[in-house]
């Protein structure tokens, strides 16, 4: 997990650079958010200073491999960088 870092324009990134790997965000209550919802879109109230654990952003990471993650707010799929496991 990584600390949350904003871009120069104040938004949270959707992809890690270099590489363009897809990022997802975690809330204090272990919810998964897509970058759009982490940036307050779709009616989301997510941000680092929110006292409500379902909206307080605490970490982000790259979704390296496996099945897509599902955003707990808007149900968008967050694809993995390397696709699903071949097991």
pTM metric for this prediction: 0.88
What does the domain layout of the chain look like in residue ranges? 1-65
The answer to whether 2 and 8 are in contact (CB under 8 A) is no
Per residue of the chain (87 residues), give pLDDT as tens. Answer: 778 889 999 999 999 988 899 999 999 999 999 999 999 999 999 888 888 988 999 999 999 999 999 999 999 999 999 988 766
Three-class SS of 13-55: CCEECCCCEEEEEEECCCCEECHHHHCCCCCCCCECCCCCCCC
Q: Which has the closest alpha carbon to 37: 66, 12, 20?
A: 12
């Amino acid at each position: 997990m990584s600390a949350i870092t904003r871009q120069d324009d104040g938004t949270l990134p959707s992809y890690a650079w270099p590489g363009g790997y897809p990022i997802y965000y975690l809330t204090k209550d272990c919810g998964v958010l897509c970058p759009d919802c982490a940036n307050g879109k779709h009616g989301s109230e997510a941000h680092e200073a929110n006292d409500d654990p379902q909206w307080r952003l605490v970490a982000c990471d790259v979704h390296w491999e496996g099945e897509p993650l599902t955003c707990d707010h808007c149900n968008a799929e967050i694809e993995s960088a390397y696709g699903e496991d071949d097991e």
